[in-house]
Structure 1
Amino acid sequence: MSSSNAPARSDAPLENRESKIENAGALYRAAWRWHFYAGILAAPLAIFLAVTGTLYLWKPQYEAWRYRDLREVPIQTSAASIDDQYAAALAAYPDAKPVTFTPAFEPGRTSELVVRLSGKTSATHDAPMPIWAGERATVFINPHTATVVGTLAERDRVMNTIHDLHGELLAGKAGRVIVELGASWLFVLILTGIYLWWPRPHFSVWGFLLPRLRAKGRVFWRDLHAVPAVWLSAGTLFLLSSGIPWTNVGGTWFRTVSAALGEGSPKESSASAHRSELTGWAPPLKAGHAEKIDALASTPPAMDNLHADHREPFSPESKIDNPKSKILLPRLTLARAMEIADANQVPRPYSLALPSSPTGVLSAMTDRNRAFTRAYLHLDQYSGRVLADVRYDDFGFMGKFVLWGIIAHEGQLFGVINQIANTLVCLGIITIAATGLALWWRRRPAGQLAAPTSTASLPKPVFFGTLALAVFLPLLAASLAVLVIGDLIFSKFLPWLRPRAS
């Protein structure tokens, strides 16, 4: 009796093993298929983003060299007042709307006033250069003599063009969507690639952690593609993750989730004593956007005096008034604003975001490349009263990630080492994407896409993994739906798109 039952007992493990092998094969084929499509969709864009990203990483060094005649002046013992410097810049462009003033905190540096032109022409007879209506430009002022050194329009900054290429392909909103879509598919590309190259039972260091450079043909190209990808996967995933919060669709979703969890920027429970005046307000994640913080309303003086005397009450001798300008100047002098900022221990260097309306606020905000000492000090532009004092600790953990994540993304979190590390990752991305495309091109039959064969049903790990990823990447979810439908239609009716035989 027992002998007759023995074969049945021995067949069960065999069936289980065969089932596991079959499931593993289906999972591998599914991962390989998605890796293929992700590569076709995202690899060309990955190369473009890596090239422009590498160039933008070195912005500080490039601009320090390229615009040294505007940024640097001989050091002198005398110094003009901050308000005299500000008035000199406004006098050069009387129709300009002042946005942000950055004092010269370092010896030998110029002060900077960012302006936006509001009229048809901006130039006076002594203006260094013309700026067109609606443009933003930086006016550089000698802090010792309160004279304008020069002006640089935003459109003339080479790195601004590279930034726009990297973020939106110089195509506005449509370009931003394309970049976000490509970045979303890069997540799929990396995660499926890690699975495909994960050590199997016959694991060898060569071909997994070290490339077989003496190999020929396909093995050589495969190792040149996969080995750098293994080493750089963590860095690449970080660059993608830190960039997504700044995208249109994914970024909006990220901010919605962080606000719902109370972990955005900043946490309302950590606000200052003046929080009652800030209902519904959150500071901009990017310092210097004065127009985005006007919800913090200053208390204006009596309306009949609003256009009469705008001298700051603490310093009657202030020279901040500019009779040539049509812009309502802040009642609080910049010198007094700096005193208040220093008294409240706002770390230098910082910029002063200027009020853009009679009810706007004057804000001292630290350099955006200093995440862990980030500070936003918002002042009533007339009395100097502190309306809000927001620091790094007031941000939730998701808000903090956005603060330091984008700085690390741009290579500014820990100096040159950060720049070098990001550059190596970007160069690796170029190599990985280029060799991946070369592998596909070399092995595909002429005139065919040569997509890997599909499985009868999508394995559960792939289904749930893709679903989890799509929750955080809305454009990935939308494009997946289009791709699945398109795959079913095209592979059936267009012969050249049919999957190759396995």
Structure 2
Amino acid sequence: MQKHKHLNRWLWKWHIIAGLITLPLMILLAVTGIIYLFKGDYEDSVYSHLKQVEIGAETLPYADQLKAAQASAKQPITSVILPAEPTQATEFVSGMRRGKSTIYVNPYTGEALGAVKAADTLMMTVRKLHGELLLGKGGTYTVELAASWFVVLILTGIYVWWPSTGFSLAGFFTVRTSKGKRIFYRDLHSVLAFWLSVFMLVLLSGAMPWTDIFGSQLKWVQAQTDTGYPKTWQRPVGLKSVVHGQPMTLDAAVDVVKARELKGRITIKLPKGPEGVISVSNRSLLLRHQEVLHFDQYSGDLIRRHTWDDVGILMDMRQVAMRLHQGEYGLISWYAVLLTALVFALSTLAGLVSYIKRKPVGDWGLPKVPDHWRVGYGIVALLVILAVVFPLFGASLILITVFEKLKSLKST
């Protein structure tokens, strides 16, 4: 690939700008992301006295366990999560959103072991720091802005690093140690970042659906193209039970669910009101094994069933990306995310040291591009596409361009 001299310097300039905008924050996101990867291990350890029980002679009816959970809950019980192993407590969820709590009940003794409010846990704080910097909406916009610019950082970095002439396979792996500290840190940054680029783009694709503006756009596209969840996947909209006789007991509902032999973590949502339905969902390792079932709360008849085949392609891709982002496809996936985050932090620090050693004192050290040179239509088209896909990037790009123009006018 023959590189244009002025285009290379122009992209190098924007690579540095993107780095200054994103890297300090991205280090924080990498660190908090690494911590959050250990959420399962941490909570299994800290809450083991609630989650784990000794196996008894016989489990009590779920109806009795429900009574014990409701007696200790401050809000109505809305759902039950079935234990997957004999040593696990039954989980009953009460409340909604930030007020939601999980009450753990020993299925052998019926004792309510305690409750955990998700919003008050350490890992929820880490997650909120990772996603919104503990600053609410302003924080989510800041994280989204940094993530948008990070895409630019990766794309420009690949072009700038790519050799102009004399292509050599060794260049993809070599970090020079005899050319001084600046060259050493620059090579360390560029070689590691190049090999990380694909992994980082995958992780970013899994993070962006959680953002406010891009995420809202994605949901709108899914709604317009019917490529998201079916209407009754998450809530039984328009579905009703036929009121007759007495509702099924929770134990009868569990028997109906177990007959389906669903894989993974099974959640049963209790009906709301006399006409409400019993909704069942499972979270499994593979998306294709997930289902949503809605039952009549009186007869136990199946009213609506959804399999993953009913889910649109955009939601399918979104869920795959989000699970990859969290390392949820087994140990290999988990270690891949952990290693990517660790190497990214090292590469980022190396790039920062290289930049500080290169830039003159009292100057930003941005590469100079001739005033008469203009980028081609292809680059402009790419910037427009990125600005449309990532609106916060587009808005910030306009502000930076205006600032640059005013600065150049002032200097003349």
Distance 1:158 1:491, change over 3 A: farther
Q: Deviations over 1:222-278 (max 9, x none)?
A: 111100011111110000011112211111111222333332224xxxxxxxxxxxx
1:340–1:384 Cα contact (<8 Å) kept: yes
1:258 aligned to 2:222? Answer: yes
Q: Which residue identity does 2:343 align to in structure 1?
A: G
* Aligned pair partner of 1:436 in 334, 351, 354: 351
* Aligned pair partner of 1:112 in 78, 84, 91: 91
2:267–2:280 Cα contact (<8 Å) kept: yes
Q: How does 1:125-140 map to 2 (within 5 A)?
A: 135-140=99-104
1:57–1:411 Cα contact (<8 Å) kept: yes
Q: Which residue identity does 2:95 align to in structure 1?
A: R
Q: How does 1:329-408 map to 2 (within 5 A)?
A: 331-357=247-273, 359-367=275-283, 370-408=286-324
Distance 1:474 1:332, change over 3 A: farther
More helix by share: 2
* Aligned pair partner of 2:233 in 269, 279, 283: 283
Tell me, which stretches of 5 or more residues in structure 1 are unaligned? 1-19, 118-132, 267-280, 285-292, 303-311, 314-330
Q: How does 1:86-105 map to 2 (within 5 A)?
A: 86-93=66-73, 95-105=74-84
Aligned to 2:237: 295
Tell me, which stretches of 5 or more residues in structure 2 are unaligned? none
Q: How does 1:456-471 map to 2 (within 5 A)?
A: 456-471=373-388
Distance 1:492 1:68, change over 3 A: farther
1:27 aligned to 2:10? Answer: no
CA distance in 2, matches of 1:445, 1:452: 11
Q: CA deviation at 1:410?
A: 0.8
Aligned to 1:48: 28
CA distance in 2, matches of 1:67, 1:225: 40
Q: Which residue identity does 1:295 align to in structure 2?
A: V
1:112–1:141 Cα contact (<8 Å) kept: yes
CA distance in 1, matches of 2:9, 2:274: 64
2:32–2:126 Cα contact (<8 Å) kept: yes
2:91–2:104 Cα contact (<8 Å) kept: yes
Q: How does 1:236-251 map to 2 (within 5 A)?
A: 236-251=200-215
2:8–2:160 Cα contact (<8 Å) kept: yes
Aligned length: 410
1:294–1:356 Cα contact (<8 Å) kept: no
Q: Which residue identity does 1:426 align to in structure 2?
A: A
3-state SS of the aligned residue for 2:288?
coil
1:174 aligned to 2:89? Answer: no
Q: TM-score, normalised by structure 2?
A: 0.91
- After superposition, the CA RMSD in angstroms is 2.5
* Aligned pair partner of 1:476 in 373, 382, 393: 393
CA distance in 1, matches of 2:274, 2:10: 61
Q: Which residue identity does 1:191 align to in structure 2?
A: L
2:276–2:297 Cα contact (<8 Å) kept: yes
Distance 1:298 1:282, change over 3 A: closer
Identity within the alignment, %: 33
2:265–2:284 Cα contact (<8 Å) kept: no
1:349–1:367 Cα contact (<8 Å) kept: yes
Q: Deviations over 1:174-219 (max 9, x none)?
A: 2111111111111000011011111332233444323224442221
Tell me which structure has the larger Cα radius of gyration.
1
CA distance in 1, matches of 2:27, 2:106: 42
* Aligned pair partner of 1:228 in 181, 192, 198: 192
Q: Which residue identity does 1:473 align to in structure 2?
A: F
2:60–2:107 Cα contact (<8 Å) kept: yes
Q: TM-score, normalised by structure 1?
A: 0.76
